[in-house]
Amino acid sequence: MTQASVTEILLVEDNPADRDLTSDVLGRNPCAPLIHHAADGVAALMYLRTKSSSAAMRLPNLVLLDLNLPLKNGREVLAEIKADPALRSIPVVIFSTSQAPTDIRSSYELGANSYVCKPCNLTDFVTAVTSIGEFWSRNAQPAN
């Protein structure tokens, strides 16, 4: 199998501790990606639209998206990404504390490629982020 290459990730996370830990764990991957951050939904969409409007700029290969964000929540961000022809092929992984079946179902209905619940303990959190990074960098084949 050809190795996929996630070279850029947009991490949309408003909690600084979760953002820093997630970035640190993703950075340990042998194919460590360049990680961009957005602390709210409006900033995430602005970042993506700026990248998509410039031929010289590459879109991220993956969006790691929290659901509970200020200004524009993750559901709204996901819906806008998947409705935009220039952005819809970017894989979006929801990474949220919510285990509510309605949140999981609505995320998939809006076009999420995966839904991962944030574990409450450090060991499981690191394992979850490591798994996300390994899958998207080693196994998944990008559309772009």
Q: Could you report the per-residue pLDDT of 26-42, keeping only the tens digit for each? A: 888 777 778 999 999 99
Taking Cα atoms as reference points, which of 104, 91, 93 lies closest to residue 132? 93
Q: What integer best gives the mean pLDDT of the chain? A: 88
pLDDT grade, residue 3 (50/70/90)?
very low
What is the SS3 assignment for 27? helix
Looking at the domain assignment, is residue 52 inside a domain? yes
Quote the pLDDT of residue 56.
57
- 3-class state of residue 128 by DSSP: helix
Whether 22 is covered by a domain: the verdict is: yes
Output the pLDDT for position 2: 43
Question: Does 47 map to a domain?
Answer: yes
Predicted structure pTM score:
0.88
Residue 51 pLDDT level (bands cut at 50, 70, 90): confident
Q: What span, in angstroms and rounded, lies between the C-alpha atoms of 126 and 122?
A: 6
Residue 6 has what pLDDT? 54
Query: How many domains are contained in the chain?
Result: 1
Q: Which residue has the higher pLDDT, 70 or 144?
A: 70
76 residue type, one letter: E
pLDDT one-digit tens code per residue, 116-140: 999 999 999 999 999 888 887 766 6
CA nearest neighbour of 82 among 111, 103, 42: 111
pLDDT computed for residue 55 by the predictor: 64
When pLDDT is averaged across residues 62-74 and rounded to a whole number, the result is 94
The continuous run of DSSP H or E covering 113 comes out as: none
CATH number at residue 55: 3.40.50.2300
Residue 101 within any structural domain of the chain: yes
In a domain, 39, yes or no: yes
Domain that holds residue 35: 8-137
Distance CA 53, CA 64 (A): 21
